[in-house]
Amino acid sequence: MRTPICERLGIELPLFAFSHCRDVVAAVTNAGGFGVLGAVAYSPERLDTELSWLDERVGGRPYGVDVLVPGKVDPSAHDRGVHLMDAVPDRHRDFVTHLLAKYGVSATGRPLTAVADEFGRRVTAAGATSLIDVALRHRIGLIASALGPPPPEMVAKAREAGVPVAALVGTVEHARRQVAAGADIVVAQGGEAGGHTGEVSTMVLVPQVVDAIAPVPVLAAGGIASGRQMAAAMALGAEGVWCGSVWLTTEEAETPPAVMRKLLAASSLDTVRSRSRTGKPARQLRSAWTEEWDYGQESPGPLGMPLQMLVAEGAMARIAAAAEKGDAGAVELVNYFVGQVVGQLDRVRPAREVVYDMVSEFGDAVERLRRLSE
């Protein structure tokens, strides 16, 4: 299944693994795929440490780094004269306090205000660019930007270093805009994907993006966690696939046990696109958190990005800790970003095995199609 993108990046399999866990990135890269480390809200120092760790383990094989570059953020994120947490309205703070109390989650622990400014400002173009500077000092083979078009400075730096830039899109219009902004590779991500996502499905989106920006290579994302789905994505015209959810239930993932149990039990009906964690629509497990924010009578409605991230991540850190202790209310609230493929994920496997199974099933699917068309 070598496609031109394999030649370009020097890899065996056009199977891209997005993960926040360096162990997953290393395992997939070493199995012949291409691991991409999600570095959202990392400090530059932390990113440097993680990439040095990776450099030591992948034997010179290329891997990538993904940063979040929102097209639009709440203006307060750019105003260094205010503390970001001060921009969060009282009724949003009060709603979180009410939620934690309702579900019996203790509100003790370090207040987030101290780190909020740094955290919130990382999800801006300036924040992303400082991560790029670090990344380019390592042997990375790809920089990916989620959400908005890559900032010109990021493209210029990547070009100078000879590193291709990939951009995630959910519409044809965004694909055109990303290519105009300098993206070398476009990841067309259907609405069934986990995390920030649009509404058009992979089946519909991928061929339209392929046709709109040819000959720029397109990777398909959303709904892909098996070899049949990989074959389908490539039948649509993609040069490879970009998978995220499937790695959450691998042995290498640092998925907390309470979340892992929810992922393994969930059906494909158990996800929802909600703005309740980041301020932008992101697919995640449906939980008391999403239900209360999206449908609760007392919900003030989510804020924009990054303010809602600050509100949500502060609370979710406490919720996750309580869920690990088995507190029933916290288990109801806890969730995680994941796509509709969560319904296929019913056991924990090594990441390498996931890669090999996908390749094997891909071959079977192609062989079946070939026989049908004889």
- 370 and 362 in contact (C-beta within 8 Å)? no
Return d(Cα 22, Cα 24) in angstroms, integer. Answer: 5
Q: Which of 251, 321, 344, 352 forms a contact with its own copies (CB under 8 A)?
A: 344
User: Per rule CB under 8 A, is residue 32 in the interface with its own copies?
Assistant: no
Site track 182-211 with its own copies (rule: CB under 8 A), x = hit? --------xxx-----xxxxxxxx-xx---
Q: Smallest distance from the beta carbon of 5 to its own copies, in angstroms?
A: 11
Q: Which of 17, 87, 116, 365 forms a contact with its own copies (CB under 8 A)?
A: 365
Q: Which of 252, 340, 354, 358 forms a contact with its own copies (CB under 8 A)?
A: 340
Closest of 53, 48, 49 to residue 29, by C-alpha: 53
Return d(Cα 294, Cα 296) in angstroms, integer. Answer: 6
The DSSP annotation for 186-240 comes to EEEE-TTSSEE--SS-HHHHHHHHHHHHTTS-EEEESS--SHHHHHHHHHTT-SE
Q: Given the complex with its own copies, which of 237 and 296 has the nearer CB atom?
A: 237
Retrieve residue 342's tokens.
């969560």
Q: Given the complex with its own copies, which of 145 and 226 has the nearer CB atom?
A: 226
> Residues in contact with its own copies, total (CB under 8 A)?
49
- Placement of tokens 């098996």 in the chain: 226
Which residues, 6+ apart, have CB-to-CB distance to 117 below 8 Å? 83, 84, 85
Q: Smallest distance from the beta carbon of 237 to its own copies, in angstroms?
A: 6
Return d(Cα 170, Cα 173) in angstroms, integer. Answer: 9
User: Per rule CB under 8 A, is residue 373 in the interface with its own copies?
Assistant: yes
User: Per rule CB under 8 A, is residue 34 in the interface with its own copies?
Assistant: no
* 142-153 burial code (b ≥16 CB/10 A, e <16): bbbbbbbbbbee
User: Per rule CB under 8 A, is residue 235 in the interface with its own copies?
Assistant: yes
Q: Which of 31, 41, 179, 236 forms a contact with its own copies (CB under 8 A)?
A: 236
Residues near its own copies (CB under 8 A): 1-3, 171-172, 190-192, 198-205, 207-208, 222-224, 226, 228-229, 231-237, 267-269, 339-341, 343-344, 362-363, 365-370, 372-373
